[in-house]
Amino acid sequence: MIKNKIIVIGGGYAGLKAIQQLAKNPDNEIILLDKNPYHYMQTEVYDLIANEEDFAQITLDLFTYCIGFKNNNVTFYKQEVNDIDFNKKKVITTIDRLNYDYLIIGVGARTKFVANVEGLREYAYGIKALHRAMYFKQKFEMSLFQKVEESGTTCRPLSIVIAGAGLSGVEIAAQMASFAQEFYKHNNFLCRKLNIVLVNAAEKILRGMDTKLVDRSIKRLLDLGVVIKNEQKVVALTEDSVTLSNGEKIFMDFMIFAGGIEPNGLIFNLKLRKNMKEFLETKPSLQTPEYETVFAIGDCTTLYDKDNNILAPTADIAEQMGVLCAKNIGLHQEGEDLDIHTIKSRGILIALGRKYATAKIFGIYINGYLAYLMKKMIERAYSKQLDIHSCIGCKKIFDK
């Protein structure tokens, strides 16, 4: 029996969803390639920073996950992809050259450290990659501890600047502010000051999002003591200061940059059609315009709705792309017409500190603890369905 060799590059939200569907067909032989041995649940990083979850809870081992499929047709290689030879249908990794019949590119995005901001790359922290988030979390906790040690002598506030007020910047600001409130309350520390400044280039935070959610988020941030600086950009950084476009200089202990993303490095090497920001363009079937057996999904692409508006890149959109792409590979194998995407956001949930969120799901607004519970439920359901495969994989290995 000739099998369909399918290579998936990237074990993120998009790639794993595609694999789950493709693995149901025993005639598919699937290889997952990722430069990391784990799937990183970025949507839960705010809990990592606030010490509510450790890194084991927001990652999933890709080896055991891939072994856990019933048809034994998924294999994981921890290899970084450097290039793709589309004419020879070969994926080129740091150590191998692998053939494919179908290829799915789902390498996600990374923090875009804009080159014209002096000191940005040297002094700002990103949180798109797990190692960066871990490093930042430790720095944050250590800084809080140092402030406690200073108690009784000085009481200099800890100052954190977050540049970028999209979903990730807002969630991190709220989570750090509420974590610090509780941290200082516990044990009744005298020196309790934490300054969080959220720098926002637009007129309002969360540009393009539902106005009711935006207003609720602003209120919550202000209640938590976060200072929002609208219509400002970071223009320069030193080790301990940030200069804004209006000339204001803010002294800070550290800065997180959540001001933009760009596709992961591999995309820059590929001769495929891209938009001005270097994200891959796809047909409505999620095929690349150049090759009918090459698909691109998730954050490394730009997806448009039927009115040609950009769909904000989220895990929700990435997963839906994964499902459609797998379906279309099946249709292509059968020689049938491919489905055209009708993907839209199913809802938006914004975590705003400990046990608090705001949400709009299927058109219904929810706020506060209930929204928080809903976010947790969705996150739990997501990691549970991944864990099922991972646990089976683990059992298969240890029962050998």
Ligand X SMILES: Cc1cc2nc3c(=O)[nH]c(=O)nc-3n(C[C@H](O)[C@H](O)[C@H](O)COP(=O)(O)OP(=O)(O)OC[C@H]3O[C@@H](n4cnc5c(N)ncnc54)[C@H](O)[C@@H]3O)c2cc1C
Positions touching ligand X (CB under 6 A) are 9-15, 33-36, 42-43, 45, 80-81, 106-108, 127-128, 167-168, 171, 264, 266, 298-299, 313-316, 318, 349
Q: Which is nearer to ligand X, 313 or 393 (CB)?
A: 313
The secondary element (H helix, E strand) that includes residue 350 is strand 347-351
User: Cβ 359 to ligand X, closest distance in Å?
Assistant: 10
Q: Which is nearer to ligand X, 333 or 383 (CB)?
A: 383
User: Cβ 93 to ligand X, closest distance in Å?
Assistant: 7
In order, the DSSP letters of 53-87 are S-TTTTEEEHHHHHHT-TT--EEEEE--EEEEETT
Residue listed under structure tokens 């007020």: 165
User: Cβ 369 to ligand X, closest distance in Å?
Assistant: 17
Name the residue among 135, 92, 138, 100 with its Cα closest to residue 269: 92
- Crossing angle of the two packed helices 211-223 and 167-185, in degrees rounded to 10: 30
User: Cβ 333 to ligand X, closest distance in Å?
Assistant: 23
d(CA 121, CA 237): 9
* Strands of the sheet with 97-99, listed across from one edge: 81-85, 90-93, 97-99
Q: Which is nearer to ligand X, 167 or 196 (CB)?
A: 167
Q: Which is nearer to ligand X, 226 or 243 (CB)?
A: 226
Is residue 308 within 8 Å of residue 281, measured between CB atoms? no
Name the residue among 278, 297, 275 with its Cα closest to residue 286: 297
Q: Which is nearer to ligand X, 253 or 379 (CB)?
A: 379
User: Cβ 279 to ligand X, closest distance in Å?
Assistant: 11
Q: Which is nearer to ligand X, 106 or 147 (CB)?
A: 106
Contacts of 240 (CB under 8 A, 6+ apart): 251, 252, 253
User: Cβ 51 to ligand X, closest distance in Å?
Assistant: 16
User: Cβ 107 to ligand X, closest distance in Å?
Assistant: 4
Is residue 85 within 8 Å of residue 92, measured between CB atoms? yes
Give residue number: closest CB to ligand X.
12
Q: Which is nearer to ligand X, 184 or 257 (CB)?
A: 257
Contacts of 110 (CB under 8 A, 6+ apart): 126, 128, 129, 261, 262, 263, 264, 265
User: Cβ 232 to ligand X, closest distance in Å?
Assistant: 21
User: Cβ 265 to ligand X, closest distance in Å?
Assistant: 6
Q: Which is nearer to ligand X, 184 or 262 (CB)?
A: 262
Q: Which is nearer to ligand X, 22 or 315 (CB)?
A: 315
d(CA 165, CA 227): 12
d(CA 130, CA 34): 14
Q: What is the DSSP letter of 311?
A: P
Angle among Cα 382, 209, 181 to the nearest 5 degrees reads 70
